Amino acid sequence: MRIIFFCFIFTLTSCNIDCDLLASHYRNEECLIIVDELSPATTTTMSIKGISIVDGKYTVSSENQRWWSTYRDQIERGDTIIKRKGELTFNIHKKDTILSYNWECEGQVYK
């Protein structure tokens, strides 16, 4: 039992994050929605339901996003979420303000 616990702790402390791989994954995602509803705040990821600004149809964001959930408290019904494919910027358009966030990994800002 002690050996298994040691291996688990060793694995956690020596785990490296491949920021470039994650950046590539996040660049391929897109979310262009006028927010109607967010997934419950009790989840660690977030999906967004609302009206697509591309085709005007009611839609659900295709990704359950851990990155986006960081900004859950700043998103309200009626806000427009803009995350364009090929970019690493997450934007929340409010009635009078635009909040823009660049993706960060291991202390480095990616754009």
What digits encode the pLDDT tens for the residues 9-48? 444 444 678 999 999 988 998 999 999 998 887 777 788 9
pLDDT of residue 77: 96
Confidence at residue 40, expressed as pLDDT on a 0 to 100 scale? 80
Contacts of 23 (CB under 8 A, 6+ apart): 88, 103, 105, 110
Beta bridge partners of 83: 31
Query: What whole-number percentage of the chain has pLDDT above 70?
Result: 84
Q: Assess whether pLDDT exceeds 70 at residue 62.
A: no
Work out whether the CA dihedral 43, 46, 49, 50 comes out positive or negative. positive
For position 33, what pLDDT does the model report? Answer: 95
The pLDDT of residue 7 is 41
Distance CA 98, CA 54 (A): 19
Q: Is the distance from CB of 32 to CB of 62 less than 8 angstroms?
A: no
pLDDT at 16: 79
Query: According to the model, what pLDDT value does residue 10 have?
Result: 43
**Calpha distance 99→84 (Å, rounded):** 15
Half-sphere exposure of 17 (CA within 13 A, CB side): 8
User: Mean pLDDT, the chain, as a whole number?
Assistant: 84
